[in-house]
Amino acid sequence: MCGIFAYSGPKSNAPETVFEGLKSLEYRGYDSWGVVTQPGESSLQPKSLVVKKRIGKIGTNNINELPSSHIAIGHTRWATHGKVTELNAHPHLSCDGKIAIVHNGIIENFVKLQADLRASGHKFVSETDSEVIAHLLEEERKTSDLPTALRNVFSKLKGLNAVIAMELNSDTLVATTNGSPLVIGIAKGEIYMASDPSALLPYTTEVIFLEDGVIAIWSENMLRFASTKTGKKLEPTSQQITWKAQSAEKGAFAHFMLKEMHEQAAIIRSIAKKAESNSNFDYKKLADRIKKARHCYLVGCGSSWFIARIAQYVFAKIGVLITPIVGSEFLEAAPALSKDDFLIVLSQSGETMDSIKPVKLAKKSGTGIGALVNVPGSSISRLADITLLIEAGPEKAVATTKAFTATLMHLLLVVKAMDEKLFSKLDFNKVAYGVERALSTAKTTQLDRLAKKFQNDEHLFCLGRGVSFPVAQEAALKVKEVSYLHAEGLAGGELKHGPLALITEGTPCVVLAPNDETYADAISGAMEMKARGGFIIGISPQTHQVFDEFIAVDDLGLGTIFLELAVVQYFGYALAIAKGLDPDMPRNLAKSVTVG
Ligand code: M6R
């Protein structure tokens, strides 16, 4: 969940380069941050690497006091072991201050390792599991060079970990991983390392995604790879990232979340265009596997799970039963997998540990795996048999918006590859236009006003029926995630089975009422809530007297869900802004949830 960035090369502003890299990775973790580099000539501590760490977001901090140097590594933290303190922030140093490490993952056996190191005289300054790596390296380094030391240390660590290390008076960077993402960015005479390819875009598009069990060694202007276990030389091939540097920047928008919502219309158009020309996307391959499967499972976490739930309704419309299961529950909820089953995993980041576990189980069981992911080269994209890159471009806001839309659209196109009829009236260009209208100034002004009205409320309910039920759940997730207002997404029919008890005078109730077979029931639900004092915000192509506030969306059949989504995404954003919160980096969360 943490962000890692490293540089070694001819630039003398390595700390600054790393600091900028950290800013672009901050969405991966923002409890605290730190940068380590070589001491300057005038350093008071010439025998030790120099570190700057701070708690909180990078914000307006700087690293002016760090000396110029040609090598540096940095880290943004999402705390697992130990509170959010400067001492617990990475990088961590060995006792002699000559070795520094940054780490992403969890060292399952750190207690034992720490006890052994303490017994042999090592002093720990943090409560983290990560610090053991620096001390273990210090021990190994007595008899081996840094790459060999890291290989030996890595063999002692249990769990899924990624590590980068450097040492005093050397330009050597070493990095290895098993199960945590690390990308090597290759440029002439210099090297970049990061936990996400989007952070490398300002410098290079040529990358190598470090495979599990591979160590990357940059030393004396040479990049080498070897097996972490055996030391045997390896030659992984590099690939080009097609993302543009600007797509990872905020541009004129106040927040990434706002920018990413506004990118949705263009993404819909682009996917529709490519789908029409039949280029790139593997809809048919996925459709064939679904048709042949004994059971097909759709797996995802958080918003990706709600996409799976929407897809379930859409597949049902063509008579296909697929089972959505939330990633973290899959092992317990799914029956034993077999070769005849097919599992499709949905993951923007491609790194969500709770979604990787079912994928690994499927691999063991010989079950076919399809994946819809956004980040090229990510773990899930490499594990799947068929990977469909959703091509939404880098998504930086913790709350997903454009990746949700892109994934959902691709899934609809998979359904279309199985049965054209359902889509005879669905015009994605109209959907794109409808999303633009849903995010027009007129609409966002209306939603800003509502957000101000409800910013101090404690609860918000969102009601949907049929395919709009999981949209209502996604709406609630968006609201709670960025505005910290307790929100629940409900199936309309469930109201009278309990939740109605929570509706009191003025409770905000969002009602999704598309012009489909669920409209009448959606209105009944609105009536029931209104009768208990609820303030009804109707999102619908047609108004109704039960609505206290009406947010009009175009009537686009199944395509209306994309417009509902755009409205509720913006509403969540507006609530966060009304409350003075940062919607891009909500408290306690991180973009890539790489721990299970
Ligand atoms: O990268 P993934 O799609 O696997 O992430 C899954 C969830 O962590 C993610 O959708 C999360 O719920 C979002 N922050 C919601 O906006």
- In tens, the pLDDT along 97-129 reads 999 999 998 899 999 999 999 999 999 999 999
The verdict on the CB of residue 593 being under 6 Å from ligand 1 is yes
pLDDT of 174 over the 90 cut: yes
Judged by DSSP in three states, 463 sits in strand
Nearest to 479 by CA among 351, 562, 581: 581
Does ligand 1 come within 6 angstroms of the Cβ of 302? Answer: yes
Percent of the chain scoring above 70 in pLDDT = 98
> Helices marked H in 58-197 — which ranges?
110-119, 131-141, 146-154
The mean per-residue pLDDT over the stretch 537-548 comes to: 97
CATH (one of 1.10.260.40, 3.30.200.20, 3.50.50.60, 3.40.50.10490) for 447-583: 3.40.50.10490
| pLDDT > 80? residue 245 | no
Token readout for 364 is: 């063991």
Please give the helix or strand (H or E) that residue 298 lies within, else none: strand 296-300
- Note the pLDDT of residue 148: 98
Residue bearing the bigger pLDDT, 170 or 282: 170
Using DSSP, state whether 36 is helix, strand or coil.
strand
For the Cβ of 304 lying below 6 angstroms from any atom of ligand 1, the answer is: yes
Q: Establish whether residue 477 lines the binding site of ligand 1, counting it when its CB lies within 6 angstroms of any ligand atom.
A: yes
Does residue 423 surpass a pLDDT of 60?
A: yes
**Length, in residues, of the chain:** 596
pLDDT of 356-365, one tens digit each?
Answer: 999 999 999 9
3-state secondary structure of 362: helix
Active site residue 296: no
User: CA 524 to CA 549: how far, in whole Å?
Assistant: 16
Q: Is the CB of 301 under 6 A from ligand 1?
A: yes
Contact 363, 379 (CB under 8 A): no
Pairing of strands 508-512, 459-464: parallel
Which atom of ligand 1 lies closest to the CA of 591?
A: 14
pLDDT of 495 reads 92
Q: Whose CA is nearest to atom 8 of ligand 1?
A: 302
Which top CATH class is 3-247?
Answer: alpha beta
| Residue ID of nearest Cα to ligand 1 atom 7 | 302
- How sure is the predictor about 180, in pLDDT bands with cuts at 50, 70 and 90? confident
Residue 352 CB less than 6 A away from ligand 1: yes
CA of 592 to the centre of ligand 1 (A): 7
- From 198, 349, 471, the mutation candidate for ligand 1 (largest count of ligand atoms within 8 A of CB) is 349
**CATH placement of domain 250-424:** 3.40.50.10490
Residue 78 has pLDDT above 90, yes or no: no
What's the whole-number mean pLDDT along residues 191-218?
95
Average pLDDT over every residue of 467-482: 98
Atom of ligand 1 nearest to the CA of 589: 14
Looking at residues 442-471, what average pLDDT do you find?
97
Contact 3, 195 (CB under 8 A): yes
Residue 563 CA to ligand 1 center (angstroms) comes to 20
Instruction: Determine the longest span between alpha carbons in the chain, in angstroms.
Output: 80
| The pLDDT of residue 280 is above 70 | no
Q: Decide if 161 contacts 105 (C-beta within 8 A).
A: yes
Q: How much distance in Å is there from the Cα of 300 to the middle of ligand 1?
A: 8
Active site residue 591: yes
Q: Are 464 and 492 in contact (CB under 8 A)?
A: yes
| CA pair distance 110, 131, nearest whole angstrom | 9
Instruction: Take atom 9 of ligand 1 and give the residue whose Cα is closest.
Output: 302
1 lines ligand 1 (CB under 6 A): no
What does the mean pLDDT of the chain come to?
94
Q: Which of 23, 52, 396, 591 is catalytic?
A: 591
pLDDT of residue 591: 83
Which is more confidently placed, 135 or 425? 135
Q: What are the DSSP E strand ranges found in 41-93? A: 50-55, 71-77, 92-93
CATH 3.60.20.10 domain extents, the chain:
3-247
CA dist 179 and 351 (Å) reads: 9
pLDDT at site 80? 79
Compute the average pLDDT of residues 357-381: 94
Atom of ligand 1 nearest to the CA of 302: 12
Site to substitute for ligand 1 among 305, 344, 352, most atoms within 8 A of C-beta: 352
Q: Which residue has the tokens 């939330």?
A: 326
Q: Where in the chain is the domain with CATH 3.40.50.10490?
A: 250-424, 447-583
Least confident of 26-30, 82-86, 90-94, 561-565: 26-30
Residue among 59, 100, 96, 72 nearest 6 (CA): 72
Please give the full DSSP string across 388-444, using - where no structure is assigned: EE-------SSS-SHHHHHHHHHHHHHHHHH-SGGGTT--HHHHHHHHHHHTSHHHH
